[in-house]
A and B are shown apart, each in its own frame.
Chain A
Amino acid sequence: MTTTVDIIARTRKKAGPRRSAAASIGVSVGAAALFLSVGVALLGPLLAPEDPVAISGRPRLGPSSEHLLGTDQLGRDLLSRVLHGGWSVIAVPTAATLVAFGVGAAIGVWTGLAGGRRDVVTSRAVDVLISLPPLLMAIVFISAFGSSAVVLVGVTALFFVPRVVRVVRGTTAAVIASDYVAASRARGDSTAQILRRDVVPNISGQLVVEFGARLSNVVMFVATLNYLGLGVHPPQPSWGLMVAENTLLLRTNPLAALVPAALIAALAVGVSLVSDRVAERLAVDVAAP
């Protein structure tokens, strides 16, 4: 996998100096933002001073040495809630993207490989499924099935599978149509051999890029569901939900809503800038969402 990627990267003409300087600023900012948000999410639970769901002081306290970010409407320590609240914002999108990607890539390669009627039918189905609005449908599904991590991952994956299928199918079909695959066929290679030697090495770069682009969409999608109260259940902290819970504290203690909002922004922007940079390095066009 890395070999093809490296060759593409090496053979690609270097962009102008200004462009690459800007790109490196972008990737530095992105990597820093990603480190910050993922670090808080993963290490936060170890550092939290209080129990995030327990009442540990008077309600609506401002920041003090005792409660660095103050307390919320119920008197729970906001710093502890921030430190515990990142896990669901990172784990659910990652799991959902992995599921959507596994299923979508398998279907995409399968149809791209075959061509013909199977391909046409799948492509038409994908066209129709893509035009269903994901957030709207997810809201309906979650209100019918109730919200749990499994439902959230499943519903999110469900609406991103057709998008992955479309890109992977196109890339695979382009490889299948190439002369070197024709040569492999003429040599008498089996489909499995063609898949392993020709298709997989040549689509892997695009797959990596697609994964990054999808992850960035899904992070935003899941955070939005969280914010609308369709993610984790209320006593549990989550950055998205915290923004909604603490909007009314904006005037007295703005940090209560702005810190979780900033961490979500850091995560989303970080994923997006870093995956853009990876796409640039691999010289693959980022697919439209």
Chain B
Amino acid sequence: MRAILTKALTGLVTGLLTVMLASMVVFAAVEVLPRDPARTALGNESTEEQRAAFREEYGLNDPAPVRYARWAGGMLRGDFGVSVISRRPIADELWPRLGRTALLALTALLISVALGIPLAARAARRPGGAFDTVANLLSTGVSAVPEFVVGIGLVYVFASWLGLLPVLSNGVENGQWVGLILPALALGLAAVSYVFRFARVGVAETAGSPFVRSARLRGFSERRLTWRHVLPVASSAVVNVVALNAIYLLGGVIVVENLFAYPGLGTMLIGGVRDNDLPTIEAVAVVTAALLVAVNVAADALVAVLNPRTRQRAAAAESHEPEVAAP
């Protein structure tokens, strides 16, 4: 228990440091270029006096560390600044979009687990068998294909060719749940290979362990072995997938949202890039980084709770001799 707490605490501190670093990198990247926010806000026809007054009012003459502290402090209080384009508080738009992005990501995750775990269980039944081989090749292939390629294929098949589903999704608030299907499917399919690989290794390892062998000797059916003995132990693999691949899944979310015009954080970010709306870009980037870190910390903690052996096993694995090529 003590070990788990230490691990969780370390994770939390590292996570906070990461969010801080991300916010500094974002701030610095925008800061480096010689840009005049006063001119951007007031337009080219403004006089030098007007711009000077604007800079004075918004404290733009302060040194960079002061402005960083003010910006970061504002975000901690939920104040993300004002969009240069819409002139409205960024927070008003950000929170609903955050919810929609979370909904999309969770649905996609469910799809990838629902497909990946049974495939892994089937493949691990006979490692090296035909099913395992084909599934492995496919997962290597699919995991290398960018999400937008998977997505455009799905759009073509389901929207253009079969005409079953709408291409663009305008959010899900008004009960337009069909709009969620294609984006979630695109993202979920791109993530299946991650789930499959982790779960397959977990299942194969567990299936070879003494307690499963003894259960088999007691005459339990293969089905019961898989569902009652192997999969519960291998389930931490799924949490691990989330922990290790959250960074890549996040990239997928950004891409898929833009492909389907899904009104989440990803479209807000790219919209900000198109409009050159730096405050929006900064705010979305920091919030997304924070979200990612939170997911990571939570997943790490969950792995430790689900499987108390994690720590010891990790320690044991490190002390193992590196595998020597046998003659």
Pair B156/A258 contact, Cβ less than 8 Å: yes
| Number of interface residues, chain B, beta carbon within 8 A | 64
> Which residues of the partner chain B approach A90 to less than 8 Å between Cβ atoms?
none
> Does B18 belong to the interface (CB within 8 Å)?
yes
Pair A223/B146 contact, Cβ less than 8 Å: yes
Question: Could you say which of A58-66, A104-112, A263-271 contacts chain B?
Answer: A263-271
> Does B155 belong to the interface (CB within 8 Å)?
yes
CA distance A277 to B134 in the complex (A): 15
Pair A269/B141 contact, Cβ less than 8 Å: yes
Given the known interface contacts A12-B325, A132-B22, A139-B270, the answer about A18 and B128 at a Cβ–Cβ threshold of 8 Å is yes
Task: Report whether over half of chain B's contact residues are helix, strand or loop; otherwise say mixed.
Answer: helix
Distance from A249 Cβ to chain B, minimum over Cβ atoms (Å): 10
The contact string, 1 if C-beta is below 8 Å from chain A, for chain B 148-172, is: 1100110110011100000100000
Pair B33/A283 contact, Cβ less than 8 Å: no
Pair A128/B325 contact, Cβ less than 8 Å: no
> Does B98 belong to the interface (CB within 8 Å)?
no
CA distance A25 to B146 in the complex (A): 22
Closest Cβ neighbor of B159 among chain A residues: A250
> Does A140 belong to the interface (CB within 8 Å)?
yes
CA distance A219 to B152 in the complex (A): 18
Q: Within residues 26 to 48 of chain A, which ones have a CB less than 8 A from any CB in chain B?
A: 26, 29
Distance from A177 Cβ to chain B, minimum over Cβ atoms (Å): 10
Pair B148/A133 contact, Cβ less than 8 Å: no
Pair A264/B149 contact, Cβ less than 8 Å: yes
Distance from B124 Cβ to chain A, minimum over Cβ atoms (Å): 15
Pair A133/B247 contact, Cβ less than 8 Å: yes
Contact of A128 among B14, B148, B254, B281 (CB under 8 A): B14
> Does A22 belong to the interface (CB within 8 Å)?
yes
Given the known interface contacts A224-B255, A227-B146, A258-B152, the answer about A136 and B140 at a Cβ–Cβ threshold of 8 Å is no
Question: Could you say which of A68-76, A141-149, A186-194 contacts chain B?
Answer: A141-149
Pair A220/B146 contact, Cβ less than 8 Å: yes
Pair B281/A140 contact, Cβ less than 8 Å: yes
> Does A54 belong to the interface (CB within 8 Å)?
no
Which of A19, A128, A136 has its CB near the most chain B CB atoms (within 10 A)?
Answer: A136
CA distance A143 to B84 in the complex (A): 15
Pair B29/A144 contact, Cβ less than 8 Å: yes
CA distance A262 to B143 in the complex (A): 15
Q: Within residues 287 to 327 of chain B, which ones have a CB less than 8 A from any CB in chain A?
A: 288-289, 292-293, 296, 322, 325-327
Closest Cβ neighbor of B284 among chain A residues: A136
> Which residues of the partner chain B approach A141 to less than 8 Å between Cβ atoms?
29
CA distance A136 to B19 in the complex (A): 13
CA distance A16 to B18 in the complex (A): 45
Distance from A51 Cβ to chain B, minimum over Cβ atoms (Å): 26
Question: Can you name 9 extra interface pairs (CB under 8 A) apart from A137-B285, A219-B144?
Answer: A133-B292, A136-B250, A143-B272, A223-B149, A228-B255, A243-B148, A247-B155, A250-B156, A273-B140
Residues of chain B having any CB pair with chain A under 8 Å: 14-15, 17-18, 21-22, 25-26, 29-30, 32-33, 128-130, 133-134, 136-137, 140-141, 143-149, 152-153, 155-156, 159-161, 167, 244, 247-248, 250-251, 254-255, 258-259, 269-270, 272-274, 276, 278, 281-282, 285, 288-289, 292-293, 296, 322, 325-327
Residue contacts A-B, CB under 8 angstroms, 21 given: A11-B327, A13-B326, A127-B14, A136-B288, A139-B285, A143-B272, A144-B29, A144-B32, A174-B322, A216-B144, A223-B149, A224-B146, A229-B270, A229-B273, A247-B155, A261-B149, A261-B153, A264-B145, A265-B145, A272-B141, A273-B144
